[in-house]
Structure 1
Amino acid sequence: MKRSKSIVEILSVVIIVLLWQLVPVPTYLLPKPSQILSELIRGKDIILRHTFVTLYEALLGYVLALILGVAIASVMFLLRSVARALLPIIVFTQTIPITVVAPIVAIWFGFGVATKVGTVAFLCFFPIVVNTYEGFRTVDREKLEFLKAHGAKWYHKLRYLYLPHTVPYTLAGMKVAITYSLTAAVIAEWMGAQAGLGIYIIRALNSFRVDRVFTAVFIIIVFTLALFYTLQFLQRKLFPWAVKLEGGG
């Protein structure tokens, strides 16, 4: 069943790519897959250099968001007054468009790597902190009372109740956040950078090279999917019980 499902998915992608290749649309509007592949091969060295810069910024910002998100969610759960004060502020920050956040961060930190990392962390922070806090907050009260009745210490509660219940929530937030990371890094690079896929796209647009723009978009999609499924693979290997709780296979 699983194998047949994979075959259907692969065939669907192949059909879409073939239709894209055969549809008579002007290439200056929509480059064909063969053009994108050709540009990717021809400019692989410079594209790889820009890609590694963006990946570095995205992953560093993502890790920062993960550390801050889990830490702040834990404090919010332990201190309800902090949760009441912080939660509206955290929600409010997400109403600010990323295209506004990036230049503000650039004003604060300049146009170095810190600006890109800060922008990525800002965008990835929300799903991680909210999901983790929700995981802590929704722990089964009956199980908690059971542990208390048997004299469980705080570390017993953490190990046998809070972590097993909260980890799936945190992982769900992490998987949402990882899909934002590269996009946030690219947008931050538009505000000013020496290298990165954002700069590569800007230069391609300025020279009317639509094929290069689509090449960069293709790379962003590929690496975003790779990061997402790597995280999912690690989840299955390290936290198989979390996959079952999420409803996975």
Structure 2
Amino acid sequence: MSETPEAHSYKIDLDNLDLEHSYTLEEFEYINSRLKNYTLEIDGHPVDLFELDENGKLVPMPQIPFRREQVVAEIAAQLRNWNIHTQQDGGVTTSQGGFDFVIDHQSAIRAPDVAFTPQNTVLRLTDEQAWTFQGAPFTPTFLVEVADIGEDTDNSKFKEVDERFKEELITQSTVVQLGWLIDPQHKRIYIYRRGRRRSNPRWGDISGENVLPGFVLNMSLIDRIIDLPPPAPRRPQVQANCPYCNNPFNNSYELIEHLERVHC
């Protein structure tokens, strides 16, 4: 069923979006807010999120397969744990969190699969920046893209993502210092650093360097998603006591939640 809401003076038919039309930031926000409960299909692919390019045109972001989203969630979880345990108090976002990357002096909304914005940036955000795309542009300092790019750098899929890093995500108009491109299907990693050539380390743990002090992505947890080990037998629950207040807990999850909530 077609929905034809009105955003400002432009009538927007979600079933017949004009991808050649230039949309305002307000219209862009409205369209994405509607897609939270409304899935489109474009070229045979379900879409529930758009980015916005520097010309104001919508860029469809197709839904990603289950296994790849598991990898994205695991990276975000490890980054979140580091953010809490080291008291960084920054902001961790996933692909539903967009940033205003200025490209050719024009606003362009991009949504990396995982991103980290440091505390000093988060604390300076105005309500307009934090809750809309209307305020002054800002970007994270670290981001990750998880994609199927193949086994070499000669194919079009890799070249498209490589260009995105070099011409949109890590440019003079952003403050991004470090970016990772991870292909879990082919076990490939590419690291992008500001002002330096990309590197292609072996498949293994990745350091956050001085951008994320002390953070190391534990690839063994990614491998457990990719390689699907046989289910382990359930371990009996063991009571654990808090080392600070000696309160008892039925399992380590409850203990960790208590430590984060009360003692961190």
TM-score range, shorter chain: under 0.3
User: Which structure has the highest helix share of the two?
Assistant: 1
Q: TM-score, normalised by structure 1?
A: 0.24
User: Which has the larger strand fraction?
Assistant: 2
Q: State the structure with more CA Rg.
A: 1
Higher relative contact order, chain-length normalized (CA < 8 Å, sep 6+)? 1
